[in-house]
Amino acid sequence: MATKEGYKKRGTDVVGFWNPDLGEIHCIPRAAKLFDSQLQKSKPSTLLLCELVEPCSAIVAKDEDDDSQLVTTKIGDLVGIWAKPGMASIKMLCNEPCLIQYERNPDGSVKTKAMRVKGMNPMKLFDVSSAKNPMRVIPVIEDARNESAGVNTLLASAKASAKRAEPASAVGVGNDDDDVPF
């Protein structure tokens, strides 16, 4: 069956992932997914699902041999952006076209901010620009966190299931109808 004119199939599969080391991206953040980090399961990872406004050559995907390669993209493709602490300002730009790139020092190097914890690498800062500020939080459409469920993320608080208390004790409650208060 042919797709009606003006319509296209939609889903949450991405064609690849943006690599900020390879250049800027002009996109529309649509939604996000949360996962346990592959490197450290106790820390969460946030994948932003973004629709391209312009083709982007900074998209990397893995092929069958698990080798990374640049992917040719087109306007409207859905790409993944692994959220970083230095791009927190993207949080309120749901459905708003924005341009994301590293923030640069006058000498062209990537601007960084020292972390509070000694021994950690400095945080790379991002320039997130948009024409408007819609003040709409990017929705989380999937939260697959297990081990990191109790950790806040850019877009979500700790999972309710991680904070759930034990049910109240049923002391004094019998199994007969005599205990029903009506």
At residue 140, φ and ψ (nearest 5 deg) are -90, 115
Q: What would the two tokens of residue 139 be?
A: 């929705």
Mean pLDDT, rounded, for 22-40: 93
Every domain of the chain and the residues it spans? 17-149
Encoded amino acid at 152, one letter: N
pLDDT, mean over the chain: 83
- The pLDDT value recorded for residue 58 is 75
35-57 pLDDT, tens per residue? 999 888 989 999 999 999 999 87
59-88 pLDDT, tens per residue? 787 666 767 788 888 999 999 999 998 899
Q: How many helices and strands in the chain, by DSSP H and E?
A: 1, 11
Q: 90 in helix, strand or coil?
A: helix
Q: What would the two tokens of residue 181 be?
A: 């208060």
151-176 pLDDT, tens per residue? 988 887 766 545 433 444 444 444 44
Q: What would the two tokens of residue 29 be?
A: 């953040």
Do 39 and 147 meet the contact criterion of CB atoms below 8 Å apart?
Answer: no
118-145 pLDDT, tens per residue? 888 889 999 999 998 888 999 999 999 9
CA distance 48 to 29: 7
Beta bridge partners of 82: 47
Q: Is the dihedral of CA 133, 139, 145, 148 positive or negative?
A: positive
Give 114's DSSP letter.
-
Give the H/E segment covering residue 140.
Answer: strand 140-143
Q: What would the two tokens of residue 76 be?
A: 């409207």
- The pLDDT value recorded for residue 108 is 94
